[in-house]
Amino acid sequence: MGGFMPYVWVILLPLIGAVVVAITGIFREEVTGHLAAGFGIINAGLALSMIPFMKTGATARFPWLPGISDFTVVADGLGSFIAITAAVLGSLILIYSLGYMEHEHGKTRYYALVLLFIGAMSGLVLSGSLLTLYFFWETVGICSFSLIGFHYEDPKALKGAIKAFITTRLGDVGLITGILVIYFATTPHTFEISAIMENSSTISPAALSLAAFAMLLGAMGKSAQVPLHIWLPGAMEAPTSVSALIHAATMVNAGVYLVARMYPLFQNVPGWTAAVTWVGVVTLLLAALMAVTAKDIKRMLAFSTVSQLGYMFFAVGTGGILASQFHLVSHAIFKALLFLAAGALIHEAGTRDMDVLSGVSSKMPLTSAMYLIGVMGLSGIPLFSGFFSKDMIFSSALQRGAYVPLVLAVLGAILTFTYSWRSYFKVFRGKPSEVLSHAHEVGMAMRIPMVLLGIGTVTSWLTVGIQSEALEVLGEGIHAVSPLYLLEETFSSPAFLLSITALGFGTLFVIRYDQVFGWLESRAWKALSLVQREFYFEDLYGRILSLAHAVGKGFAALIEGAIAGFSVLLGRTVAFLTRCTDAMDSRLIEGSGRKVGSTVIGSAKLVKRAQTGDLNGNLVRLLIGISVILAIVLVETGGCL
């Protein structure tokens, strides 16, 4: 455990930074942004220095809860690449925020929460214990709630934060249930992931099944899979830099990580891999349809994130762990780029409505170029990272023979091409709209992160060798893949034909968008309305909440009535007992007085008679009198002398 351990410091440094920023902000809030960016940059360097440790799966262990669990940090390929992604993208988002948040209030709170978010996400994916994983899992949930509701004075932001908190809590119930089931079902009881894997044979099939599906529910909540996806579009009321952080670097990746991490334990549970596959496929398709009809550019990107996360679940379900993690990293880069470019646009235009935006490229050429690169990555243009990772997912499904889900995934790719390119042509091309009359290119602090992410969108597929070598030690059919081998394999595989087919149909739909949309409005308006209303998920949950509220009010009224009735009954009982007590006290006291008086008089006569010589009779009467007095005293004292 000695020596330099960057995999430990990549968790600790952001947490320390959050505390330092919070304290500094009390005295000088204006320096908190640069201070946070400094911590972010150093943390990114530490994260990159983890790469040599990934092949060995270096572990550090610290005492935490004696007899229950240690604080274990494991730097293997699965968690390390996500931690690197969170740290590097987090640092770029912190730099971007120097410009984006320049005129915002509450910067201390913002920067402290962002650093805490980055540190908690690294802690989550590097945890070697399910207990510490859950601790960080809830921490990222609290950070997301606080940042989504950053503008808490805005009712929409507050509503979005509450929706995110409640929806993800539903999934968290599943996660903690699964963790506890595994803990008590494993012999010996343990939260250590490696020990659980080694002793998996001691877990009963019933307990394993319950844990598998319960933890899948937890992953669905965090990664916004249908039907627990509704919180992510609502999270768009957060600052756009926060949207990039949530969608690319941190929270939503947690669910994908969880199913990939637990895949060796759950892969043989009947129906589990099929459930993961279909959750992913249904999500990627429905979310892509909702993205096509979205008018808010951030909401469109949010549905796009939900859809791409669905592809990652689909990949895990078909056994493509490398494909899933490869797509996670490539998606994180191009989605962060798209959000930051959209944020720059919104920063200048003051609106997110794509119906009133056009011609942005003439006013903001660099931002336009960066958004275009992001679109190329998202839509899967050949030689961009998104193309290689999505093609690898298709190839994994082909190898597993998952043909029906694969067809739906290809349809999702066609829709992805359609909505992404449609947003570019609609917003960035054409004549500048009136809302852009005062727009100009953003400052250097916002430009530099976008340019770096643009480069990453083109080149990040070259890291496949490092990533696959780090994941190879996990087994599960993962083999090291060099960039050259990836090129050869991609362009010679049957999956490439599917990718080209998706690009072809997507191009046709973009060119004929108005005709296709017009046909749908005239011939399939009910189906189109269903998509435009986002499949009525919001309405359904609204009715469930209304019903729950009504039931709650009825139950509360019932309880209130019962309490009121009991209070009346209790009051009447007390009044009755009071009257009885008063009567008893009156009779007892008066009677006792009379008896004591008569006894005293009798005793006097007894003495008198004793003096006259009638001793035997008088002694009997004396004993009777004493007995009466004792009886009276016992009654009055409750039997205690």
Q: What angle do CA 15, 20, 26 make, to 5 degrees?
A: 135
Average pLDDT over residues 450-464: 96
Residue 641 pLDDT > 50, yes or no? no
Contact yes or no for 165/141 (Cβ under 8 A): yes
* Among the listed residues 283, 324, 316, the one whose alpha carbon sits nearest the alpha carbon of residue 302: 283
d(CA 214, CA 173): 8
pLDDT of residue 58: 86
Residue 330 pLDDT > 50, yes or no? yes
Question: Would the pTM of this model clear 0.75, i.e. be above it?
Answer: yes
Lowest mean pLDDT among 203-212, 428-437, 504-513, 554-563: 554-563
Contact yes or no for 74/59 (Cβ under 8 A): yes
Copy the structure tokens of residue 108.
């201390």
d(CA 267, CA 30): 51
pLDDT of residue 191: 95
Confidence grade of residue 309 (pLDDT, cut at 50, 70, 90) = very high
Residue 611 pLDDT > 70, yes or no? no
* Among the listed residues 109, 83, 97, 98, the one whose alpha carbon sits nearest the alpha carbon of residue 25: 109
**Counts for the chain of helices (H) and strands (E), in that order:** 28, 2
Sign of the dihedral through C-alpha 238, 18, 337, 105: positive
Confidence grade of residue 633 (pLDDT, cut at 50, 70, 90) = very low
Q: Which residue has the higher pLDDT, 547 or 590?
A: 547
Peptide bond into 239 cis (omega under 30): no
Dump pLDDT digits (tens) for 333-387.
999 999 999 999 999 999 999 999 999 999 999 999 999 999 999 999 999 999 9
Question: Which region holds residue 546: left if phi is over 0, alpha if psi is between -120 and 50, else beta?
Answer: alpha
DSSP 248: I
Copy the structure tokens of residue 115.
């650093």
pLDDT of residue 55: 79
User: Across the strands, what pairs with 6?
Assistant: none
Neighbours of 445 (CB within 10 A): 18
pLDDT of residue 540: 85
pLDDT of residue 640: 42
Q: Give the largest CA-CA distance in the chain.
A: 140
Neighbours of 296 (CB within 10 A): 16
Dump pLDDT digits (tens) for 506-525.
999 999 988 888 888 788 88
Residue 528 pLDDT > 50, yes or no? yes
Average pLDDT over residues 310-315: 98
Helix axes 107-126, 130-148, angle to 10 degrees: 160
Per the document, the length of the chain is 641
Confidence grade of residue 482 (pLDDT, cut at 50, 70, 90) = very high
Dump pLDDT digits (tens) for 286-306.
999 999 999 999 999 999 999
pLDDT of residue 358: 94
User: Across the strands, what pairs with 607?
Assistant: none
Residue bearing tokens 């809302």: 435
Contact yes or no for 345/297 (Cβ under 8 A): yes
Q: Which residue has the higher pLDDT, 479 or 386?
A: 386
Question: Which region holds residue 499: left if phi is over 0, alpha if psi is between -120 and 50, else beta?
Answer: alpha
What are the boundaries of each domain within the chain? 6-532
φ/ψ (deg, to 5) at 28: -145, 85
If you write DSSP's letter for every residue of 518-547 in order, what string do you get? Answer: HHHHHH-HHHHHHHHTGGGHHHHHHHHHHH
